[in-house]
Amino acid sequence: MLLKYFYDQKLAHASYLVGCQRANVAVIVDPGRDIDQYIEMAQREGMKITAVAETHIHADYVSGARELADRVGAKLCVSDEGPAEWKYLYLDGYDHQLVHDGDHFLIGNLKFDVLHTPGHTPESISFLLTDQGGGADEPMGIFTGDFVFVGSIGRPDLLEEAAGLQGTAEPGARDLFHSAERFKSMPEYLQVWPAHGAGSACGKGLGAIPSSTVGYEKRFNPALQFNDEEQFVKYILADQPEAPKYFAVMKRVNKEGPKILGADHHHSMLDVAKLSAAVDSGTVIDLTPAPEFAKGHVPGSINIPIGMLAAWAGWLVDYDRPTHLICKPEQLEEAARVLHKIGVEEIVGAFDTDDVRNSGLANEVYPTGTPADLSYAIESEDVQLIDVRSSDEWNEGHIEQAKHLFLGRLPKTIEQLPSDKKIVVQCRSGARSAIAASVLQACGIKDVINLTGGYTAWKSEGLPSVKPTPAMSGHA
């Protein structure tokens, strides 16, 4: 048996190639959209990818299952559990097997037993792997998808928080409790292979270790320490990370079937003469580092440096309109790959950073200021301070005069800003608030200042802050 681990750092997403070395065939478990990595690995190992096994309809990235089925003819082994609204809709025309609890399928001499493990989503399944080619008659491990992570467990509130399906969080939590009880009854030696690691919004407190065992998770995973259902429900629904709004888009895309990109998919650099029209027609993302963007940028563009693209584009891009980039030519394909992974399909192309700067179109600026520069204006409320961090960060402590407007929802909350004051934006370090400054300017609020160094610099200067009481913890 061959097991290869793939990890997308930008999305905190883990996927796997599992191969039978006797039959030279392999299955990809929970593939991402960048499928070339799987094809190249299979070729290197002398294997043919014959199947895809998916644990659920993912919400945080575009699945590569359809692309693999289309490109290499892989059979789709996917869940048929859960209610009608969570069934795959693109399977006609592809070789596929709809699986239920108790079913199994073979990849060469490798046996995959299906377990229905609902809670994170209603259709969620896990796969127990037995290496029959090695003579085993008991499983060696379990692919848990977004059910059990290292040090955590999948959140049950995404359908309600991100997809807007009201009344689904608590029933999901109760399903998750019973799935967890089933997990705890499994042999402790079983290896656990999850679909996410630290940084994913699919759960709270995920560990950075790639794999674990059932026994270790039973002992040390906080979510698996509850024997009382009510206490578990209360725990699992509290303090979850912000649910990115694009998760609802991903659920729909992966259910209906992502667009096939094809092996020769690529993007083009565009004539800067088309830039003004691009700003009017959709979203223009400038990948320039924030300090350079602050000194000169195109009005109406938003600034998301390439290292932050995966985390924030899904919050701020309009999925119903075309997307253009401003970047260096060598950045284009990588940036487009990241955007495609989170379901941004209509990427028209990019404008060269140097051409834009030389065109004279980058004629808008915003100032920055240190805590020392801005503390008097903030504390006297001559300016309006906006804290764009997460709710958890806000609740840990914030500047007293700040108003909390989370970056991801900033375009929808702009009406809460005063029209008679300068706006100062602040995060932990100054990176997210730089994005926020660009978003505010693109939305028409031009008098914006970014607080350099953010809350960390404010605290290091010994300036005052407050921590809200529990009654204030729901501050939005």
Q: Which of 168, 129, 124 minimizes the C-alpha distance to 146?
A: 124
Q: What amino acid occupies position 156?
A: P
Q: How far apart are CA 59 and CA 176, in angstroms?
A: 17
Q: Is 427 a catalytic residue?
A: yes
Q: Which of 292, 423, 448, 428 minimizes the C-alpha distance to 362?
A: 292
Q: What amino acid occupies position 74?
A: A
Q: How far apart are CA 122 and CA 167, in angstroms?
A: 13
Q: Are 157 and 166 in contact (CB under 8 A)?
A: no
DSSP letters for 252-317: HHHHH-PPP--TT----B--GGGHHHHHHHSEEEE-S-HHHHHHSB-TT-EE--GGGHHHHHHHHS
DSSP letters for 133-151: GGT-SS--EEEEETSEETT
- CA 35, distance to chain mean position in Å, is 18
Looking at the DSSP bridge assignments, the partners of residue 153 are 148
Q: How far apart are CA 394 and CA 375, in angstroms?
A: 18
Phi and psi at 273, nearest 5°, equal -65, -20
- The residue annotated as part of the active site, out of 20, 202, 427, 443, is 427
Q: Are 38 and 49 in contact (CB under 8 A)?
A: yes
DSSP strand pairing (383-387 vs 347-352):
unpaired
What is the DSSP-derived secondary structure letter of residue 9? T
Please, what is the Cα angle at 76 between 102 and 37, to 5 degrees? 120
Q: How far apart are CA 464 and CA 452, in angstroms?
A: 17
Half-sphere exposure at residue 60, Cβ-oriented, CA atoms within 13 angstroms: 28
Q: How far apart are CA 348 and CA 286, in angstroms?
A: 14
Active-site residues, by number, are 427
